[in-house]
A and B are shown apart, each in its own frame.
Chain A
Amino acid sequence: MISGDESRVAGALVRDIRESCEKVSGTLKFMEVCGTHTMAIHSAGLKSLFPGNLHLVSGPGCPVCVTEKKFIDQAVLTGKKYDACLITFGDLIRVPGSLGSLARFRSEGGRVRIVYSPIDAVGIAAEQSPRPAVFLGVGFETTVPTVAATLKVAMSSGVENLFVLSAFKTIHQPLRILAAKTDLDGFLLPGHVSAIIGSDCYQYLVDDFGKPGVVGGFEPLDILLAIKDLVKMAVIFFPQIVNDYKRVVRPHGNPSAVAITDEVFEPCEASWRGLGLIPGSGLALRDPYSKFDANLHLPVDVPPAQDDPRCRCAVILTGSLTPDECGLFGRECTPEEPVGPCMVSSEGTCAAYYKYGAQ
């Protein structure tokens, strides 16, 4: 699509949104659940086009942000105690732990390898053998099947020294908690998580909470289209689940990906920064894949982690506060010297505000 057309389409969609919002006397507040959406919205400058009574707040869909400090500590302690090689996505490397970040551990001689794909962990484990290689499992339903597939390869290749430290999470349980909040009028649902789990599974938002949800893509026009549909439904009090990313998301998702996930993982409770302990919202390795579980085979004593009491990440993650309302934002807490994960994570809400302006 040529640029002129793109801005015309945007113009048309924005006008539609504005006209709908004029019909509402109060404000409309939607939550985008997915961190990739947060970044896309800010980098396209979308909020600068919205009318004043339309608010979009970010939710807990940034896997790095919702991972507790304790996880980083556990990773570092595992690396130290077992002389393990830690394998991680780049996103985690500068997140502050009580004992420093993974980057600091690496600069002090710790073995830390950054990967683009979990499948690379198999090769790294072979290189590092017999030393344990521990993959730091942070991510949601999009990433989990890639790790599941990796472990199947490890199993069939007879790899003995690869482990996974799982902090994987799933979105339905926290989404229910957030849907119960009265100040949210609907949800922009994650595009690629939905590619795995499908668009039909969100019906409870309508049936149990009366809130609309739209599965959106990631191009600026995709997001505008999704917002337009959310606003329309909110204005006429007709909530539904709408799929605006049909070229990627099917009603039942990707059955191969779901099957691989179910074969390797089972639900467990998980601790979410900002939301606390949520039953059934985490994923643990099930037999026979529990042979790869770092929690079981490489146990460490992790002292309770103290978050900085001034850090408001927990509240920001649930959409109750915006980053500029945090006293540390831009002062003691910056991307170079982050206090909390929302600032250092490349998908963190605070990082988005800092990088792209409050709009």
Chain B
Amino acid sequence: MTGRLIRDVLLPKLDRGRLRPLPDSVVLSGLGDSVAYTTDSFVVSPIFFPGGNIGSLAIHGTCNDLACSAARPMFFSLSLILEEGFPMDQLETIVQSIAQAADAAGVEIVTGDTKVVPKGSADRIFINTSGIGTVQASAIPSPGRISVGDQILVTGPVGNHGMAVMLSRAEFSFDFDLVSDSTSVWPVVEKLIELGPALKFLRDPTRGGIAATLNEISFSTGHGIEIEERTIPLDKSVVAASEILGIDPLQAANEGKIVAVVEKGMGNKALELIRGCPIAKGAAIIGEVTQEHPAVVVMKTRIGGSRVVAEPSGELLPRIC
């Protein structure tokens, strides 16, 4: 639904040239050093989840959008919308997490706003951020640079955030070690930038997981994508959770991973560059851009069959039947 809202209502009225490609962050010219700029809103529920909360998520998510433009995150704005009666102790925990996440990421919050709205007007707390970063690559990653034959990597096991959030929902009573992977991916991107122009495109696979991101790439370039099931890194607890709940881990959100498209033949070099990063453990080449089946993402399954990886639609729901 948001997709149609953007295409049919927002873009026609608002686009003056830079909005149309719907980038996670945009590089602005005419401001001296290349500056990247992004905005995001955080409405996650539950607001506390294993491995983080809405506050740390807000910082990491904004860092990661900037990282997709190869920009070092630097200055953020922070805007809180609180439902009347939101517990003070929860707010303190969230703000503490924001501070810790920002410090760890080398980011300074330089301006902000707070509003309290009547009960029922917001789901406990909403957070909006905007972020500014300085571009560190001479060739800005963008879908326009992707060509047939380019290789696709993911920087670690997928689906952890989405599955951890799902398992921790109130209606389930599972014990599990799985935590969200929420973190700033800038340290990994900083290394990938050393590939120079061979680094074609970056995206953080949040809502909708890598299925959504691969479909976005495929759709915006018009090229096909082929991935291999056996190469996709998955933690065994994510596999277990996905089997128990009947949820596809390719559609589960990630908050500390990057999907990178690199020039053909450069995949192994990219993996070498990021090998030392603690948050890139388990990184793998998962597929390539192909001229077959334009604009469609196809997966070769473990047993040699093939099936389409469709764009996820609707809420992720556990199955029983």
Interface residues of A (CB under 8 A from B): 3, 6-7, 9-11, 14, 35-36, 42-49, 62-64, 89-91, 93-94, 113-116, 120, 138-140, 143, 220-221, 224, 334-336, 345-347, 354-357, 359
Q: Which stretch of B67-75, B146-154, B190-198, B312-320 is in the interface?
A: B312-320
Residues of B within 8 A of A357 (CB): 296, 298, 307-308, 310
Contact residues of A: prevailing secondary structure: helix
Please list the residues of chain B having a beta carbon within 8 angstroms of any beta carbon in chain A: 1, 171-173, 230, 245-246, 248, 296, 298-308, 310, 313-315, 317-321
- A9 CB contacts on chain B under 8 angstroms: 303
- Taking the closest CB of chain B, its distance from the CB of A118, in whole angstroms, is 9
- How many angstroms from the CA of A224 to the CA of B302 in the assembled complex? 13
Chain B residue with the shortest CB-CB distance to A113: B171
Contact A93 B310 (CB under 8 A): no
Residue from the list A42, A94, A140 in contact with B314, Cβ < 8 A: A94
B317 touches A3 (CB 8 A): no
Q: Which residues of A contact B299 (CB under 8 A)?
A: 45
A-B contacts, 22 of them at CB < 8 A, read A3-B302, A6-B303, A7-B302, A10-B304, A43-B307, A44-B303, A48-B305, A63-B321, A90-B317, A90-B319, A91-B317, A91-B319, A91-B321, A94-B315, A138-B321, A143-B321, A224-B303, A355-B308, A356-B307, A357-B307, A357-B308, A359-B305
* Complex partner residue of A93 from B298, B304, B317, CB under 8 angstroms: B317
Given contacts A9-B303, A334-B313, 19 further A-B contacts (CB under 8 A): A6-B303, A35-B321, A43-B248, A45-B299, A48-B307, A49-B304, A91-B317, A91-B319, A114-B317, A114-B318, A115-B171, A120-B173, A143-B320, A220-B302, A220-B303, A221-B303, A345-B321, A346-B317, A346-B319
B-chain residues with CB within 8 Å of residue A91 when the two chains form the complex: 317, 319-321
Instruction: Tell whether, in the assembled complex, residue B307 and residue A42 are in contact, meaning their CB atoms are under 8 Å apart.
Output: yes
User: B1 touching A336 by the CB < 8 A rule?
Assistant: yes
The answer to whether B310 touches A45, judged by C-beta atoms less than 8 angstroms apart, is no
Residues of chain A with a CB closer than 8 A to B313's CB: 334-336
Decide: A10 and B303 in contact? CB cutoff 8 A.
yes
The CA of A335 and the CA of B208, in the complex, are separated in Å by 14
With contacts A90-B319, A346-B319 taken as known, whether A356 is within 8 angstroms of B314 at the C-beta atoms is no
Whether A336 and B321, one on each chain, are in contact in the complex, defined by CB atoms closer than 8 angstroms, is no
A43 to B249 CA separation, bound complex (whole angstroms): 12
> How far does the alpha carbon of A93 sit from the alpha carbon of B320 in the complex, in Å?
12
Q: What CA separation (Å) do A48 and B306 show in the bound complex?
A: 6
Q: Which of B171, B248, B305, B307 sits near A114, CB closer than 8 Å?
A: B171
Beyond A336-B313, A346-B246, A354-B310, whether A45 also contacts B319 by CB under 8 A is no
- In angstroms, Cα B316 to Cα A93, docked, is 11
Q: How far is the CA of A82 from the CA of B239 in the complex (A)?
A: 41
Contact A7 B303, CB 8 Å, known A116-B172, A336-B313, A346-B246 = yes
Nearest to A346 among chain B residues (CB) is B319
Neighbouring A residues of B173 by C-beta, 8 Å: 120
Q: In the assembled complex, which residues on chain A have CB atoms less than 8 Å from the CB atom of B319?
A: 89-91, 346-347
The CA of A199 and the CA of B310, in the complex, are separated in Å by: 36
CB-CB < 8 A to B172: which residues of A?
116
Once A and B bind, how many residue pairs between them come within 8 Å at the CB atom? 109
Contacts A114-B171, A334-B313, A356-B310; A49 near B305 (Cβ below 8 A): yes
Q: Which residues of the partner chain A approach B296 to less than 8 Å between Cβ atoms?
A: 357
A48, A116, A347, A355: the one within 8 Å of B321 (CB): A347
A63 to B230, CA, bound (A): 32
Residues on A with beta carbons closer than 8 Å to the beta carbon of B1: 336
- Contact residues in B for A115 (Cβ distance below 8 Å): 171
Q: How far is the CA of A9 from the CA of B304 in the complex (A)?
A: 10
Question: Which of B245, B246, B299, B321 has the most chain A CB within a 10 Å cutoff?
Answer: B321
Once the chains bind, are A44 and B318 in contact (CB under 8 Å)?
Answer: no
User: A47–B307 Cα gap in the complex (Å)?
Assistant: 9
User: A44–B307 contact, CB under 8 A?
Assistant: yes
Give B144 Cβ to nearest chain A Cβ, in Å: 27
CA distance A138 to B301 in the complex (A): 32
Among A49, A62, A336, the one with the most B-chain Cβ atoms within 10 Å of its Cβ is: A336
Q: Which of B173, B299, B308 has most chain A Cβ within 10 Å? A: B308
Nearest chain A CB to B5's CB is how many angstroms away? Answer: 12
Q: Give complex CA distance A42, B300 in Å.
A: 12
Distance of B291 from chain A, by nearest CB (Å): 18
Cα separation A3 to B304 with both chains bound (whole Å): 10
Question: Which of chain B's residues have a CB closer than 8 A to the CB of A35?
Answer: 321
